[in-house]
Amino acid sequence: MATPLLDETPAVETALKDPGPHSASTNNSSTGPSTSTSASSGTSALNIAAIVSNNAPAVASPNHVAPSVIPPPETPSGTIVIVFGAGMESIVHMVAEVLGKPWTTETSLATLARATDVVVAGVLAHDLDRSLEGCDRSSIVLINTHCVEDGTAPEDALTETCDYEFLYSRTPFLRRDLTRFLSLTLGQTRPHEDLRTKTRTNFISTTFPDVHAALSNLDILSVGSDAVEIRVDLLVEPTVDGAAAGSVPSLKYVGQQLMLLRQHTELPIIFTARCTKENGKFPMDDPMLFYKYLRRAIKWGVEYVDVELWLPEEIRRRLSEVKGHSIIMSAFHDFSGTWKWTAPEAQRVFAESAKYGDIVKMIAMVSTIEQNYELEYFRSTIKARGPGPLLSAVNMGQMGQLSRALNTVFSPITHPLLPMIAAPGQLTAAEINEALHIMGQLPKRDLYVIGSFRATPHSISTTYIPAISDAARAIGLVDTIALAAPGETGSARFIGENAAWKGIRATLTREYVPSAYRGRAAIILAGSEIDASAAIFALRSLGVGSIYTVGFKASGPLAAGLEPFTSIQSVKLVEQPFVIVSALPPEKSLLVQPLLRHYRTNGRSSPPSTRGKVYLDLTSGPRKGDPLGVASSAGWTAYGSEDVSAWTTVETLRLLVGQNVPFDFVRMASGRPLF
């Protein structure tokens, strides 16, 4: 018998789509001046005078309006309710930390829901129904959290009530996985916005019966991929007695597998339950089975959800209504061998898929090379239509391989380390690149690494580098010179870019959602403005509030609103910083240490809501002192220049060769362990 449609609430939609203007919470004094700083005994140890510029003006009012270079992240509005199990309250604190918001265990959600400021409220699972009484669901986002370590799964009814669900285990990956989950579900990061504009995108179709088997090779497997597909229908759930498992893995098993995969890759995940008729294993007698799994994937915060076109329209429509910030990939496969890309049926399938799909995937089994040309013609007719969902279309079978090289949108790829290919004719990223190269579509490029090259947009001759990106111009520094695709004139041209700011931003947002920085104070120490400018740009892109500078006086395009520290007195006046960045030269690197101690985040003098959070050390080379060690022991979340370099390398490779090499692979290849 078919399962009835679940009664969904649109609360989350409303809450997520209507973010109010940011305002700091009343009981979070972190955005206002802190009195705790002046009480600290560490002040006298500060040697600001050794690094500040002599003629800097006095500290200005923190109420300035910082110039915004990039639209700052949206701030979630309303109350974020974290439902947790007995003894698991620490997850509520972690959510609040990651969001940079205060938390409460006030259980009257009806009262909290009326508050205008974002607050994280923790509610025990068994108190939830009572807490929800009289509550306006449209102003809260309900997130169920469940620790899977004891092998249990959340109760269905609880999952159903909540808008989202975070499954976790207490590993070193927890914090970053939670950040990613919250960033996506609260609309803070939109990975598809980047990917949809990329010239070519690939995704690796993993075919593992158990994700554990993939983990050791995942970094290698995903080089050249922009996303990882989990083929849920191919998962094989072990049974207690080792007997042959049923064809459909349980939601409990799927949830755990997904959690494991997400903990081990930074790439967006595509959640696919492929049906038996389309080369998969999910039975087709109950379409609601698909609804149940795909709806759950949305609740789990999966970036892409594959929705097969044969499913009843009501199901496809419903999924698109509740998709939140997940992207729907409509999927259609034709194995008949009689498919014709030139027939009206192909246009009809596209139109039907486009109704609810953000991406339309159309795949057909072919037996002649000509069918690839027909597909290319079909692709051109879709392109000619103008705006609409992206088309990802390839042919299956050996004869269809050409189309796998020609498709540019989310091309499914395989890898020799996978147990099997997911579809006939699949190619690896390397094979596709080779084919493109032979066809003249991917010309060989020489990469030049120039030692201490420092080019400001003004010092670069426009004869050689005719274009400079907005970011590089604002930062005043070009660190990457990429070759843009040939334009209408047929000639390729160089473009001056800055990759460093993205590396800094990616590091800062690994364990805090972007809006955690919004309106908060930052301190940047550097020997010169140019050393600090990428960090200033990155912080501005996160919408930080006051930025205090130490060691330099800015006068470039990013100077407006920066407030130099001139003396110990200025430190006393300054609110608690949320982030400190040091780009000091190595010989001066230890000068940040007194500041880290002064604004220590784990001392008794400052209440949790005013504590500093992130320390980013951009100094490279043999340094004096141990700022990272001091930061960690003073309670800061500390990152070194290796993290930033790895993220910057990821960005640089995207700019130079248009291919994605994941962060974890770069860290691994540079010989440094992740933890």
- Residues contributing to the site for ligand DQA (CB under 6 A): 205, 229, 231, 272, 274, 306, 331, 361, 363, 394, 396, 412, 422-423, 426
**Rounded CA gap, 508 and 544, in Å?**
12
* Identity at 377, one-letter amino acid code: Y
Strands 202-206 and 164-168: unpaired
Considering beta carbons, is residue 189 or 392 the nearer one to ligand DQA?
A: 392
Task: Give the whole-angstrom CA distance, residue 15 versus residue 11.
Answer: 6
Strands 427-428 and 467-468 turn out to be unpaired
- For residue 409, the minimal CB distance to ligand DQA (Å) is 12
How does strand 480-484 pair with strand 493-497?
antiparallel
- Which is nearer to ligand DQA, 270 or 583 (by Cβ)? 270
**233 vs 531, beta carbon nearer ligand DQA:** 233
Shorter beta-carbon distance to ligand DQA: residue 82 or 364: 364
Residues 6+ apart with CB under 8 A from 634: 596, 597, 599, 600, 601, 602, 603
Rounded distance between C-alpha atoms, residue 203 and residue 265, angstroms: 13
Q: Closest Cα partner for 232 from 187, 269, 263? A: 269
d(CA 480, CA 448): 10
| CA separation for the pair 595, 648 (Å, rounded) | 27
Nearer CB in complex with ligand DQA: 46/394? 394
DSSP type of residue 660: -
CB of 193 to ligand DQA, least distance (A): 22
Tally of CB atoms within 10 A around 341: 23
Q: How far apart are CA 520 and CA 184, in angstroms?
A: 21
Least Å from the CB of residue 270 to ligand DQA: 7
Distance CA 534, CA 539 (A): 9
Minimum CB–partner distance for residue 516 and ligand DQA (Å): 35
Q: Would strands 637-639 and 562-564 be described as parallel, antiparallel, or unpaired?
A: unpaired
All residues at 6 or more sequence positions from 231 whose CB lies less than 8 Å from its CB, including other chains: 205, 206, 207, 272, 274, 280, 422
Q: By C-beta, is 103 or 208 nearer to ligand DQA?
A: 208
Given a contact cutoff of 8 angstroms between Cβ atoms, the answer to whether 421 and 207 are in contact is yes
406 or 423: CB nearest ligand DQA: 423
The distance in angstroms from the start CA to the end CA of the chain is 49
CB of 388 to ligand DQA, least distance (A): 19
Least spacing, CB of residue 292 vs ligand DQA, in Å: 19
Q: How far is the CB of 423 from ligand DQA (least distance, A)?
A: 3
Query: What residue has token string 């997904």?
Result: 258
| Closest chain position to ligand DQA (CB) | 423
In the complex, minimum distance from the CB of residue 333 to ligand DQA, in angstroms, rounded to a whole number: 6
Q: Where are the alpha helices (DSSP H) in 88-190?
A: 90-99, 109-112, 128-132, 156-161, 174-185
What gap in Å lies between CA 484 and CA 447, rounded to an integer? 14
Which residue's CB is nearer to ligand DQA, number 273 or number 571?
Answer: 273
241 φψ region: left (φ > 0), alpha (ψ -120 to 50), beta (else): alpha
Task: Work out how close the CB of 452 gets to ligand DQA at its nearest, in angstroms, rounded to a whole number.
Answer: 45
Least CB distance from residue 195 to ligand DQA, whole Å? 16
Compute the least distance from the CB of residue 201 to ligand DQA, in Å: 13
Residue pair 31/577 in contact (Cβ under 8 Å)? The answer is no
- Specify the residue, 11 or 275, whose C-beta has the smaller distance to ligand DQA: 275
Residue among 368 and 462 whose Cβ is closer to ligand DQA: 368
Question: Cβ of residue 232: shortest distance to ligand DQA, in angstroms?
Answer: 10
Instruction: Name the residue nearer to ligand DQA (CB basis): 316 or 502.
Output: 316
- Residue 37 or 401: which CB sits closer to ligand DQA? 401
Query: Which CA distances in Å does 294 have to 316, 391, 422?
Result: 10, 21, 20
Residue with tokens 């005013």: 610
CB of 296 to ligand DQA, least distance (A): 18
Cβ at position 274, least distance to ligand DQA in Å: 6
Nearer to ligand DQA, 138 or 279 (CB): 279
For residue 258, the minimal CB distance to ligand DQA (Å) is 16
Q: How far is the CB of 650 from ligand DQA (least distance, A)?
A: 25
Task: For ligand DQA, give the closer residue by CB, 11 or 363.
Answer: 363
567, two tokens: 């003396």
Q: Are 169 and 149 in contact (CB under 8 A)?
A: yes
Give the DSSP letter of residue 58: P
Rounded Cα distance, 228 and 203, in Å: 5
* Contact between residue 563 and residue 60 where contact means Cβ atoms under 8 Å apart: yes
- Residue 660 — φ and ψ, nearest 5°? -95, 120
What's the rounded Cα separation, in Å, for the pair 458 and 609?
Answer: 43
Cβ proximity to ligand DQA: between 374 and 563 the closer is 374
How far, in Å, CA of 82 to CA of 592, rounded? 37
Give the 3-state secondary structure of 24-51: CCCCCHHHCCCCHHHHCHHHHHCCHHHC
Nearer CB in complex with ligand DQA: 263/272: 272
